[in-house]
Amino acid sequence: MHSLLPHSLILRNPPLYSPSLSAMSSSLTLPSISLKKIPSPSPSPSPRSQLFLPSNSLCFSASRDGVRSFGLKHSDRSRVFMSVSVGSQTVVDDALFSDYKPSSAFLFPGQGAQAVGMGKEAQNVPAAALLYKKANDILGFDLLDLCINGPKEKLDSTVISQPAIYVTSLAAVELLRTRDGGQQIIDSVDVTCGLSLGEYTALAFAGAFSFEDGLKLVKLRGEAMQEAADAAKSAMVSVIGLDSDKVQQLCDAANLEVPEAEKVQIANYLCPGNYAVSGGIKGVEAVEAKAKSFKARMTVRLAVAGAFHTSFMEPAVSRLEAALAETEIRTPRIPVISNVDAQPHADPDTIKKILARQVTSPVQWETTVKTLLTKGLKKSYELGPGKVIAGIVKRMDKGAVIENIGA
């Protein structure tokens, strides 16, 4: 039935990310297909409800404990959407965002961006500080203390760094909100994405799941990836100064010299001249040994638990699938670009499948950024620790406008 449906199925009131509320959902079960045109609304929301109309409409959200949720406030365009309900299940066209036109983007960092001291500034903003308090309850340890005081070795571990970056990145959104014009910036964002782990942060920002549910997923993801890394010795190395074709040739040459279980592949297409290779220890060592002969400028062994974004992470997939199956995921209110295929997805079931595949699939970050810039992105913001993403964007377009918002 899905293949017969027109494109642009309606998003049915997906909640916005709000650190003060558990995500709410509403869905009206219809016995048949319904077609409706949605004009721009007049601002008259209930104080306890949320209204979302897709594609540059108004968003209103509940407020409690002094913490507001995200919203959009631009453009008076209206569009026609379709929704189909079969029984109690709503079918959403996954291609809903395929014609997105980005102007302002939020970009969220991935593992490796963590640094001792992050989160300190966030404690001056009640809404940001509240995120860490909620995280402590969910994680069962004092995340803020580890963020601010370390030790670095513990903060760098996969099981700690992933939730730490997720929480700190969303805390940065709350810091931005308190700035003059900050709420207007948040309202203007019409696309978001994140590097590997950062995709979960982007989905939370876009209202696909609650802050709490996202953190539970990130916690499990870190634990599952660490367990997969412990099961087989593996590593990652950045190759600097070669294009992607040359790096692939380097991998092919290294793979001729190692057993099948030690082979390597490109795991992260970061930006021109910077690609991460993952695989067995012997395979990574072969890449390091051969890099100079391929005219690479240098190689840098990455301080990660293992060969992320390759089949070495396959043991983590089933745990992620099980957790995702139990998590309520809704259509994002704005496009969230996937690391797996550099495309936005609207169907919750598709988003779940892609998140499960993400840990074993190469990260298509170069294509993601290139597409955003080609489509006319005017300004972007990197929210969270570090400035890795800003460096990547500037490397791809020196004239690109990007601002760092730390916490």
Domain that holds residue 175: 94-230+309-405
Least confident piece of the model among 33-47, 183-197, 330-344:
33-47
196 is catalytic: yes
* pLDDT band per the 50, 70, 90 thresholds, residue 262: very high
Catalytic residue among 20, 309, 338, 361: 309
Residue 88's pLDDT band (cuts 50, 70, 90)? low
pLDDT value at residue 33 = 36
What percent of the chain has a predicted confidence (pLDDT) above 90? Answer: 77
The pLDDT tens digits of the residues spanning 160-197 come to 999 999 999 999 999 999 999 999 999 999 999 999 99
CATH of the domain at 153: 3.40.366.10
Token digits for 166? 């997720």
Among the listed residues 279, 395, 385, 276, the one whose alpha carbon sits nearest the alpha carbon of residue 339: 276
**Could you tell me if 357 and 396 lie in one domain?**
yes
Domain membership flag for residue 63: no
115, 188: one domain: yes
Residues 208-219: b if buried by 16+ CB within 10 A, e if exposed: bbbbbbbbbbbb
pLDDT tens-digit map of 222-236? 999 999 999 999 999
101, 207: one domain: yes
Residues 213 and 326 in one domain: yes
Q: Do 205 and 295 lie in a common domain? A: no
In-domain check, residue 157: yes
> Does residue 51 lie within any of the structural domains?
no
**Selection from 377, 401, 396 nearest residue 105 by Cα:** 377
Q: Is there a contact between 192 and 205 (Cβ–Cβ < 8 Å)?
A: yes
- Number of folded domains that form the chain: 2
201 and 337 inside one domain: yes
Question: And the tokens for 385?
Answer: 């620790």
**Which domain-ending residue is among 242, 276, 302?**
302
pTM of the model: 0.81
Q: Is residue 76 part of a domain?
A: no
Neighbours of 294 (CB within 10 A): 16
Residues 258 and 187 in one domain: no
Whether 340 is covered by a domain: the verdict is yes
Domain boundary among 302, 326, 352: 302
Mean pLDDT of 257-263: 97
Q: Return the ∠ at Cα 172 (arms to 206 and 300), rounded to 5°.
A: 95
89: pLDDT strictly greater than 90 = no
Residues 109 and 215 in one domain: yes
Q: What is the CATH number of the domain that holds 288?
A: 3.30.70.250
Across residues 377-388, what is the average pLDDT? 97
The active-site residue out of 8, 83, 196, 311 is 196
| Residue 309 known to be catalytic | yes
Q: How far apart are CA 379 and CA 373, in angstroms?
A: 9
Residue ending a domain, choose from 261, 278, 302:
302
> Are both 202 and 246 inside the same structural domain?
no
User: Could you give the CA distance from residue 41 to residue 76 in angstroms, rounded to a whole number?
Assistant: 9
